Amino acid sequence: MTSGTIVDFKNISVFQKNNLVLVNVNFKINKGEFVYLIGKTGSGKSSLLKTMYAELPAIEGDANIVGYNLRKIKRKEIPFLRRKLGIIFQDFQLLEDRDVHKNLEFVLKSTGWTDRNKIDERIQKVLEQVGLIAKGFKLPHQLSGGEQQRVAIARSLLNEPEIILADEPTGNLDPETSNGIMRLLQNISENGQAVLMATHNYNLIHKFPHRIIKCEEGTITSSSYEID
């Protein structure tokens, strides 16, 4: 990969079990870039994201992301790859039986953090970044959907990833809340972390224009700033 390029896929095929989902996938993402991933339901967006965090194998071609070759990655290396990626899901995936602080602490401890003071400092920093500094003691069910997604974004930032992979992060949110999440994700990219966001929401794309990668007819058909 060239300097500044953190994702470089060349002629990759993506399989879901034994089914070929995407073929001849070619795209690059640079440091700090914000990119949309669009396409109809079932077009392969989620499968492509899963390939990027090594839940699905990269078949054929070359696939490099944040310094890892996905064609050659060993199982024991996958947790280290994922620490350099921030992954955000539509349904938040928070632990319902513990408060916000404990949700974030769980991630840090499971990725090797041991110093209590550093853990607390890091949690405070990401909660401040997402505008939830006063919500650390709340349980997920005590938060709005937008606040829960902000916690999920805070969680994705804990290990200072090089890129955020966001799979329909506004899919369950109202328009005003979605706009707030978009502004937050834009701020993250402006601070130097790339964002790849899968979305169906063309209103957001028009309101917050960025480069678009499109999944269509079993491949990546365009990489532009325009929606067809």
> Cβ atoms within 10 A of the Cβ of 210, count?
16
Alpha-carbon span 7 to 63, nearest angstrom = 8
Map residue 68 onto helix, strand or coil. Answer: strand
Per-residue pLDDT tens digits for 107-155: 999 999 999 999 999 999 999 999 999 999 999 999 999 999 999 999 9
Alpha-carbon span 167 to 57, nearest angstrom = 18
Its pTM stands at 0.92
Binning pLDDT at 50, 70 and 90, where does residue 17 land? Answer: confident
Binning pLDDT at 50, 70 and 90, where does residue 200 land? Answer: confident
CATH of domain 1-84+162-228: 3.40.50.300
Q: Give yes or no for residue 226 having a pLDDT over 90.
A: no
Longest dimension (CA), the chain: 51
Q: Give yes or no for residue 225 having a pLDDT over 80.
A: no
Cα dihedral 201, 202, 203, 207 sign: positive
Domain extent listing, the chain = 1-84+162-228, 91-160
Alpha-carbon span 190 to 117, nearest angstrom = 28
Token duo for residue 160: 């200072």
Q: Give yes or no for residue 1 having a pLDDT over 60.
A: no
Binning pLDDT at 50, 70 and 90, where does residue 89 land? Answer: confident
Token duo for residue 38: 């669009």
